[in-house]
Structure 1
Amino acid sequence: MITVNAMGDNCPIPVIKTKKAMQALTGSETIEVLVDNEIAVQNVTKMAASSGGKVTSEKLGEKEYKVTIAMEGAPAAAASEEGGETCMPDKRNNTVVVVSSDRMGEGNDALGKVLIKGFIFAVTQLDELPKTMLFYNGGATLTCEGSDSLEDLKSLEAQGVQIMTCGTCLDYYGLKEKLAVGSVTNMYSIVETMAGASNIIKP
C-alpha cells in the first residue's frame, strides 16, 4: 500500500502527487490518496480511472476523504502524457436520483436486484454526477450494512453527491442503526429536494 498525503493541497497538486506515485510503479500496487475536498476526489478519480486504475473513494469525516486506486502496474501511456493535471470543475449538477426499491423493474426479483446494483454503478460513471440520491421504501435497504452497492454509494458521497435515506422507512424496516452511508432525511426534505431538481431520474 502506497499512501499519498494531499491533505491541504490545492488543485492540481493532489492529481500531480497521485500521478507521480502511479508512474513510479513497477508492478501491481494499491495507492491510497488522502484529500480534504470533494473536487480533489473527483479530479483524482477521473485521472486514475483514465490511467487504467480501479478506483473507489470514501468520505472519512468532515473535510477528510480517501481515494483508493488498485493498479496492475504503471499507468497507460496515453494517461502518462503531460497536461493530465487540469483542474476540472465540480461535476455535480442539479439532477436528483430517486430510488424507491431494492430492485429495478418488474418481473424476476433476482434479476431486479442485479439491475439496481448495475444502475447505481452506472451513476458513478456519469460525466455529470447527480446532486442528490434519495432512498425510500425498499430502496432504504441499499444504503445499509450488507448492501452490494455500498462501495459505489460511498464513492459517490466522497465526490459530493448527497446520499439521503428516509428515516421513517429505516424505522419501519428496523435499519436505523445499520445505515452505512449518507444521512437520514424526512418526507418534507424529500419533497423539497425533488421540487427543486432540474431533472429527476427514477430507475
Structure 2
Amino acid sequence: MVKVDARGDACPLPVVKAKKAIAELNGAGEVEILVDNEIAVQNLTKMAQQKGLVYSAEKLAEREYSVRFTVGKAVPEREEKTEACAPDTRTDTVVVIASDQMGEGAEELGKTLLKAFVFSLTQQDKLPKTILLYNGGAYLTCEGSPMLEDLKALEAEGVEILTCGTCLNFYGLTEKLAVGGVTNMYVIAEKMLGAGNVVKP
C-alpha cells in the first residue's frame, strides 16, 4: 500500500498527490491518503467516483481522516476538467489590518492578540474574501512576520491579500513582501465600499 500524508495541504494538493500515487502503482494496488479536513475527503471521494475507483473514507481522530483507494486494472479516464475544489467558502467580508498589533495598551500583548486573530481566521468555516493591510499592517506580509505562514495558508484557500504599496515604500519593505500582492488606496477604498462587512481587529 502507498501511503500519502496530505495533512495541512490546501486544495487541490491532496487530489494532486493522490493522482500521482495512483499513477505510481502502475495498474493495481492500494493508496491511503491522510488529510485533516472533510472538504479534502469530499474532493478525494469525488475524484475516485470520476475514475471509477473503489474507495472508503474513515475519520481517525479530530482533524484526521483516511481515504483509501483500491486500484484494479487501469480504468480508462474520462476527459476531466481541472479538479474542482470545494465550494467557495469565502464571504463578502473584508478584513482591514492597519497596525502590527491589535487594540490599544501593551505593545507585546497587542502583537500576541493580532497573531492569534490571524491564526483564528484560518480556522473559520467562512473565510473573508479579502485582507487589506496598510500603515503598520504592511509589516505582516513581509519577510520575518510571525504570521506569514497563516497568511500564506489563507491565500492558498483563495483569500485575496493586498498590501498598500505606498506603505511598503514608506517603511522600506517593498523588496521584502512575502505573501499577497501590492495595491493602492483607490483599490483599498473600492474593496471596502464594495464589501458586505468590513472587520478591523
Instruction: Determine if the TM-score, normalized by the shorter chain, exceeds 0.5.
Output: yes
- For residues 75-128 of structure 1, give each alpha carbon's deviation from its aligned partner in whole angstroms, at most 9, with x where no partner exists: 62584489xxxx731111111000000000011000000000000000111111
- Unaligned runs of 5+ residues in structure 1 are 23-43, 51-73
**Of the candidates 107, 115, 118, which is equivalent to residue 117 of structure 1?**
115
Is contact 1:134-1:165 (8 Å) kept? yes
Cα deviation code 1:10-50 (max 9, x no counterpart): 8995596698232xxxxxxxxxxxxxxxxxxxxx6633899
Superposition map of 1:25-44 within 5 A: none
Runs of 4+ in 1 over 4 A off after TM superposition: 1-4, 9-19
Task: Assess, with a 3 A threshold, how the Cα gap between structure 1 residues 198 and 110 changes in structure 2: closer, same or farther.
Answer: same
2:33 alignment partner AA: A
Aligned position for 2:184: 186
C-alpha change, 1:152 and 1:110, in structure 2 (3 Å) is same
Distance in 2 between residues matched to 1:118 and 1:199, nearest whole Å: 21
Code of the residue aligned with 1:185 in structure 2: it is T
Partners of 1:15 and 1:47 within 8 A in 2 = no
What is the alpha-carbon root mean square deviation over aligned residues?
3.4
Residue 145 of structure 1 is matched in structure 2 by 143
1:89 and 2:101 equivalent? no
Asked if 1:20 is matched to 2:11, the reply is: no
Q: 2:174 is aligned with what amino acid?
A: K
TM-score by length of 1: 0.64
TM normalised by structure 2 equals 0.65
Separation (CA, whole Å) in 1 of partners of 2:90 and 2:180? 16
Q: Which has the larger radius of gyration?
A: 2
SS at match of 1:76: strand
C-alpha contact (below 8 Å) 2:32/2:67 kept by paired residues:
no
SS in 2 for 1:20: strand
Correspondence for 1:76: 60
Match of 2:96 among 77, 98, 101: 98
1:46 to 33, 37, 58: 37
